Amino acid sequence: MAQVKINNLTKKFDNLMVLKQISLHVQNGEFLTLLGPSGCGKSTLLRIIAGLEDACKGEVHIADRCVNKVAPKDRDIAMVFQSYALYPHLSVFDNIAMPLKMRFLTSLDRMPVLGRMLPKYRQNKNHIRLKVLEVASLLDIGHLLERKPSQISGGQRQRVALGRAMVRNPKVFLMDEPLSNLDAKLRVHMRTEIAGLHRKLKSTFIYVTHDQAEAMTMSDRIALMMDGELLQVGPPKEVYDNPRNLKVAEFLGNPKINLIPGTIWKEGIIESCGTRLPISLPPGENNCDQVQIGVRPEVLQVVKDGGPAWKGRVVHLEHLGAYFLVHTLIDGMKHSVISRIATTQMALPETGSRIRLRAVTDNILLFGQDGKRIVMHPAIQEEAVNA
């Protein structure tokens, strides 16, 4: 267990800024996910923490020790790679044992024939064997120890890679998209297993992924990155419900958040596509300001009553079993919006029919023209400032 502190980290590749002044504090025993689209710098950040890449500026502290000049093997970390990076010529046992062999045996001990003649050979060998067996039984791969990586399945390889990381009880686990080579079903399964492993080991986990489902389901906190910047750090629910800006709101959520244009008409009322919505705004927001109204698909509901609502035409329907997605072209908009409605809630509207859509104003998000969140309630604003 250890804290990982990153202070003002900057990384440049030639002229390209990959990481811009990143500061992040990972707590003891926390599961933190670095989430972001491909090329946002999340893997580079992980590699800098691992020591496989040098930072241009800034510091990395692991367990209150600055490790900028410390070799990867001395940082007391373990990493699981996307491709698993198992040694193809070694058995599963030897793969898991390798970190122990490289650490506790000298190069003389590791000599093929000479090593056996050295005094502590048997003792060392037994120690390593016990440790490997312990890890293998924890991961349920005890029956595979004699096999080569090519003779086991993708999921099993993933476990071996985890075993190799776990075997010497590192302070911090670093995982670089470890599930992206698995099929969808296995991925969901391994998600639960890795989360369970974290609970069992109580180590600090830093997990890189571009898959928001993985980030939302596994982590204690999500650090959302885009274009080399850290946009928001917080528990999954908070980042989803209370995004700091439009980019965060757009990245999280599937289907994507609906954005409907609007204008602040007068204090407390926004006009949007022929509808007036009563909204309590903090003082200082000017009249006639253009805003984007963010409405999550599950919040945008079809209504039949006569209150204020967006009117539009159903252009497409997707039935997904438990719920359906209604694509509606709101009058005055160029793009359709999506609402997610549980099948039990109402009957499927017909394509081409006219419907009315409404969102509870407490659940909508307001963004200014610059993409920044306009916090509607003073209470929420306070929370956002504190976060």
Partner 1 sequence: MLKSISSPMPSPIELSTRLPSRQALRQVGLQTIQQRVAFALVTPATLLILILLIGPILIVVGLSFTDWQFGNPAMNFIGMDNYAQLTQDEVFRTSFLNTCVYSLVEVPLSILLGLLAAILIEMGGSLKKFYRAAYFLPVMSCTVAMAITWQFMLHPGIGLAAIVLPFFGLEGFELLQGQNTALFTLCGIGIWQNLGFNMVLFMAGLAGIPGELYEAAELDGAANGWDRFRLVTWPLLSPVTLFVTVITAIRSFQVFDTVHVLTGGGPNNATEVLIYTMYTEAFVFFRTGYAAAITVVFLACVFLFTFIKLYFLEKQVHYK
Site residues (CB under 8 A) for partner 1?
50, 52, 71-73, 77-79, 81-83, 85-90, 98-99, 102-103, 107, 148, 150, 164
Name the token pair of 302. 């079809």
Report the nearest approach of partner 1 to the CB of residue 111 (Å): 10
Please, which residue, 38 or 150, has the CB nearer to partner 1?
Answer: 150
Report the nearest approach of partner 1 to the CB of residue 100 (Å): 9
Please, which residue, 150 or 286, has the CB nearer to partner 1?
Answer: 150
Please, which residue, 83 or 369, has the CB nearer to partner 1?
Answer: 83
Report the nearest approach of partner 1 to the CB of residue 264 (Å): 52
Name the token pair of 184. 């969808």
Please, which residue, 13 or 87, has the CB nearer to partner 1?
Answer: 87
Amino acid identity for residue 318 in this structure: E
Measure Cα distances from 263 to 182, 221, 311 in Å: 46, 34, 17
Element (H, E) at 199: helix 184-201
DSSP string, 292-321: EEEE-TTT-EEE-SSSS-EEEEEEEEEE-S
Measure Cα distances from 108 to 83, 94, 101, 276, 379 in Å: 31, 18, 11, 80, 66
SS3 365: strand
Say how far apart CA 261 and CA 290 lie, in whole Å: 7
Report the nearest approach of partner 1 to the CB of residue 331 (Å): 53
Amino acid identity for residue 189 in this structure: H
Report the nearest approach of partner 1 to the CB of residue 223 (Å): 22
Please, which residue, 38 or 107, has the CB nearer to partner 1?
Answer: 107
Pairing of β 275-278 and β 310-319? unpaired
Report the nearest approach of partner 1 to the CB of residue 157 (Å): 13
| Beta carbons within 8 Å of 24's beta carbon, 6+ residues apart | 4, 5, 6, 32, 223, 230, 233
Say how far apart CA 181 and CA 272 lie, in whole Å: 44
Name the token pair of 202. 């109580």
Please, which residue, 139 or 172, has the CB nearer to partner 1?
Answer: 172
Say how far apart CA 42 and CA 344 lie, in whole Å: 40
Please, which residue, 129 or 168, has the CB nearer to partner 1?
Answer: 168
Report the nearest approach of partner 1 to the CB of residue 99 (Å): 4
Please, which residue, 99 or 236, has the CB nearer to partner 1?
Answer: 99
| Beta carbons within 8 Å of 98's beta carbon, 6+ residues apart | 87, 90, 164
Report the nearest approach of partner 1 to the CB of residue 21 (Å): 26
Prior bond of 255 cis (ω within 30°): yes
**Closest by alpha carbon to 317, among 343, 295, 345?**
343
Report the nearest approach of partner 1 to the CB of residue 89 (Å): 4
Report the nearest approach of partner 1 to the CB of residue 82 (Å): 8
Name the token pair of 188. 């969901």
Please, which residue, 100 or 364, has the CB nearer to partner 1?
Answer: 100
SS3 322: coil
What is the Cβ-side half-sphere exposure of residue 285, based on CA atoms within 13 angstroms? 26
Please, which residue, 168 or 313, has the CB nearer to partner 1?
Answer: 168
